[in-house]
Structure 1
């Protein structure tokens, strides 16, 4: 099944592998504090993928339930072996979607953010992309 998926992803050690066929329905570059802490970087690029198209092909990610700045309690899923952040699930604001990290994809070429969110937290040295900008979560 793994080789037939359009988009394949894995953790750094390769223990957890997953894939999906549809192109992401949403691609965001998030500058919120939660994403910065989880990624260890200035921002995190996330791809919205329908849960029904997502297939876990090997390994079992570990889920960390947390309360985000918005007050929601999504699950941050990562590899228990190497610690790679893989996807976020159970977001009340986005029922039916998982948010896959761009860095987990084997071939991320051609995937570009459609918007930047929580730009009020963007560091001053980070250059805004030429996409819609939102100080907080749009909606």
Structure 2
């Protein structure tokens, strides 16, 4: 499936070819902190199937495993866009929040569930627009 994404201010845009069966929700503590939310929805794309337009900024974090990962975001509005290996990336892990087709991409699995917030199972039904 071809997806289209952009940051909030539209300064950065991208397209990617993805497999919708690979959409995940990540509950790891890094995703919680870096997204400012209790979880992050993601999908991978091969670097060859990813096209980016615009200037980006990168923050490189070191995971508990010691692996260095680039966290890529818009330098203007700070929208998180994707992550990838710090050196020689073979794929990008796209943040679904900035994907236009996100409503058509329900997560197929949850990862790092041991780090999930204990109250997620007790969430109430949505009450509509705020």
Same fold, TM exceeding 0.5? yes
Verify the 8 A CA contact 1:25 1:48 in the aligned structure 2. no
Structure with more of its chain in strand, by fraction: 2
Alignment of 1:38-57 (within 5 A): 38-56=34-52
Deviates most, 79-88 or 58-67: 58-67
Q: Secondary structure at the match of 1:55?
A: strand
Instruction: Indicate yes or no: 2:96 matched with 1:102.
Output: yes
Instruction: Indicate yes or no: 2:64 matched with 1:69.
Output: yes
Q: Secondary structure at the match of 1:38?
A: helix
Q: CA RMSD in A?
A: 2.1
C-alpha distance in structure 2 between counterparts of 1:66 and 1:55, whole Å: 23
Match of 2:80 in 1: 85
TM-score for both structures, normalised by structure 1: 0.79
Match of 1:12 in 2: 8
TM-score for both structures, normalised by structure 2: 0.84
Shift of 1:69: 2.4
> Which 4+ stretches in 1 moved above 4 angstroms?
none
C-alpha distance in structure 1 between counterparts of 2:29 and 2:119, whole Å: 16
Which consecutive unaligned segments of at least 5 residues does structure 2 have? 123-130
Verify the 8 A CA contact 2:60 2:86 in the aligned structure 1. no
Higher RCO (C-alpha 8 Å, min separation 6): 2
1:91–1:120 CA distance, 2 compared to 1 (3 A): farther
Question: How many residues of Structure 1 are paired with residues of Structure 2 in the alignment?
Answer: 121
